[in-house]
Amino acid sequence: MEFINGEIDGVIWRPLKKYHDHRGWLCELFRHDDLPAEFHPVMAYISATETGVARGPHEHRDQADCFCFLGPSNFKMYLWDNRPQSKTYRHKQTDVVGIDKPMLLIIPAGVAHAYKCVGKETGIVFNCPNRLYKGEGRKEPVDEIRHEEDKNSPFVLD
């Protein structure tokens, strides 16, 4: 399976603005009145990724991720449209986000994704997906298709 470079339908890239004052800064990550209802978060988590380390590629059958990249590092983001019904099926999109380009990124179900910490220090990522991890009471299978271990995966990071 080969991918071509281009924008991916349904992915939302929204620059985040930091408001600075003498105390530091504040950044609004999301608002319900700014997000389409199908992407409203139901939980949130934060993760740290060491420099040079990648997470993914993987995709979800039903879940959409709502990532916020603010720093203190940068991440190279990789997206592959793996939805046969999409008008941008087999498109690949990359960008660098984080301290130099704060970004909210909504990734719909079926879009394979990965990110790699490309800065000089550990990076922090905030995610507020629209589905509960392992479902209500953590009793369901994880909604994740992992491609990291597949040596023949078409989802390749550079």
The string of pLDDT tens digits covering residues 96-153 is 999 999 999 999 999 999 999 999 999 999 999 999 999 999 999 999 999 998 999 9
Give the rounded percent of residues in the chain with a pLDDT score beyond 90: 97
Domain boundaries, the chain: 4-19+32-132
Q: For 138, left (φ over 0), alpha (ψ -120 to 50), or beta?
A: left
Give the rounded percent of residues in the chain with a pLDDT score beyond 70: 100
* CATH 2.60.120.10 applies to domain 4-19+32-132: yes
pLDDT confidence of 65, banded at 50, 70, 90? very high
Name, in order, each residue with C-beta under 8 angstroms of 146's C-beta and a sequence gap of 6 or more.
58
Q: Residue 102's pLDDT is what?
A: 97
pTM: 0.94
Q: What's the rounded Cα separation, in Å, for the pair 155 and 142?
A: 20
